[in-house]
Amino acid sequence: MGLFGLTRKEKETWTSIVIQGLKPGMQIDDVLLKNATDTYITQHIRILEDSVRIVMESKKSKDKRRTI
């Protein structure tokens, strides 16, 4: 069992997702993987929040055009 209770194979798969340029067989410690995971999640939360903001602003603009 590794990080978050993942199997070795699952951990390798997750590592390849959150760490760009990973070479096969490269050793990654749990602290680096945790930091990469935190960064990955933070970036995706920001993207989702920005997307929601854009949709809401677009909806407001569309509603304003209808009333004019």
| Tens digits of residue pLDDT in 3-42 | 568 888 888 889 999 998 888 778 888 899 999 999 999 9
Q: Is the pTM of this model over 0.75?
A: no
Q: Which residues of 25-48 are buried (b: 16+ CB within 10 A; e: fewer)?
A: eeebeeeebeebbeeeeeeeeeee
Three-class SS state of 27: coil
Task: Write down the pLDDT at residue 43.
Answer: 97
Task: Write down the pLDDT at residue 67.
Answer: 62
Residue-range domain boundaries for the chain = 30-67
Task: Write down the pLDDT at residue 7.
Answer: 87
